[in-house]
Amino acid sequence: MDEQQWLKLEIFIPETYLSVLREALQSVDTGHMGDYDSCFAYSRVTGTWRPLAGARPYEGTIGQICEAPELKVELCIRAERMQETIEAIRSVHPYETPAIYALPLVGGV
């Protein structure tokens, strides 16, 4: 298997949006591994940010540091599914600028 064929996605999202995110990922068959789908892991983290002038924050006040609990969702995807996966995530994500990271997996999955 080509080393660049798989990516690991990390998505930060409010806990109340986990089921909506799961459905969005299922709609584009992301998180499918072998005979299983909906394959991902999540952990609780604390996010921090400061909305700047012009922002429309989901949570927080312009100019003030904000901290809140979030989930970090991690999953593997095929590189060719990246665009449709990002679009599906953005379609349900409540943040003005979602935090989504894509990391190449050396050696595949």
Q: Read off the pLDDT of residues 56-109 as tens digits, 9 standing for 90 and up.
A: 999 999 999 999 999 999 999 999 999 999 999 999 999 999 999 999 987 766
Q: Which long-range contacts link 59-68 to residues 24+ away (Cβ below 8 Å)?
A: 59/14, 68/14
pTM for the predicted model, two decimal places: 0.89
Structure tokens at 86: 């990002």
3-class DSSP state for residue 40?
Answer: coil
